[in-house]
Structure 1
Amino acid sequence: MKLFQKKSILTMMMSLGLVLTACGNQAGSSASDDNASQTQTNSQPVKNSDSNSDKGASKDLKQYSKDPDKNDPSEGDFDIVGKLVSETDGELILNIKGDKITIQKKSSFDKDMKGFKRDLKGKMVDVEISTKNQKAESLKPTRQTRADQDGVFKKEDDGKKLVGKLVSDKKNEITVHVKSGDKTYQKSEDFEMDKSAKKDKINGKVVQLDIDEHGKAEKLKYSWADQA
């Protein structure tokens, strides 16, 4: 009887040992799996969720242009007007209503200063952009940048050209606001408005005036480029 009890106890101890061994192996396997899973997770590339990560993506520059012909397929270029932030040999940076945009220059890029002799940095400029590759073909200061205190941006032998905000347009006279204040000019007998001026509501808008040698306004012009 005692022998039988000893055998039973021995059998139970062996069974318990097998159970403990199995549990230990299972726990070790689970821990190994967890460690492997953690290692695999740590090796995964972290995706950049920064919204600025695509800052270098090319943009359609037409979205910054008010040129009415920018979507005309027959036109080989379009214009953008903005404040010049900086310029290098290869690119321009413009500020357009708070947005800074970079424009690459064409190898044939040309700068037409139109007689303007000061630094253009911080000034309004008109940039001609190639429709094909959206690179800058040329740059020039706007009429308002070139204008003096009286709004004159070009002097000619038979008169002058000026730019200013239209204050009033009466039958015989026209008044514009320039840096030095309001200027009123009598209209010449053959005074005329160009087609763009006629079809737009121009009161309060920036316009160009051709003044003859007698100091009278002979023509009024309207351009989208002057409204920037």
Structure 2
Amino acid sequence: AKDQYRVSLAFRRFATWQSFRDNVVTQKRILTRTYGRACYPNVLMFDFFMPLRNEEYLRTALDALFYKDTIKFRLKTIPQSHLEKHFTPKNEGQELHLERICDWIGERFVGYSISHVSGRFRVRELCTKQQVLDAAAKHSERYLVDETTAIVRFIFPCKGAQEATKDCAAGNLEVMDAFEKEADLIRWVFEKLFVQSVLEVVNGEDEIWLLESGMRSQLHIFQAAD
């Protein structure tokens, strides 16, 4: 109809004249952005489960891995033969070899997320209600413990060529094998850098759980040796 207009939902954010004036009228800005989609058919996801009291130490250790010099330092603690087995040298010196590995890591690790969940756990062998009541009366022993758990999540997409998605879906064995090799390399790097960093700073826990999902689903449980 005449004098009727259809307004994009993008303007819903500017419900008052002041917000509309300040953000639209007086500024040259793009209200909406166009997004393209990149699809990664093969993804690895790792979730650490640990008590909340370790979160501060954990953040400190993981945040250090945002910096190239820290990554290089940790890579140098790995035997050179192991590095060369997983990252074959290309007629380059040791320093350039480390630079290339750092670049590979930098393309795949850009951050992590932490969420908090409330849980309840049994800390003794399975008992009847009466056994629990008797033990509590005699020794003040706790049977159930409420604890907030920090879940630290890492997501690593396998950086295959975008056109490889169709080939993988079509059962192209060569492409699928390339994805598996990259996934194994991601697991190895994650073990050497991230898992070791976590195990070094987490103290006093009997067990640390690491859940892997995506291309492979498995639970890793790290248990204290003593």
- Same fold at TM > 0.5: no
Structure with bigger helix share is: 2
**TM-score in terms of structure 1 length:** 0.19
- Give the structure, 1 or 2, with the largest relative contact order (CA under 8 Å, sep 6 or more): 2
| Higher strand fraction (1 or 2) | 1
Larger-Rg structure: 1
TM-score by length of 2: 0.19
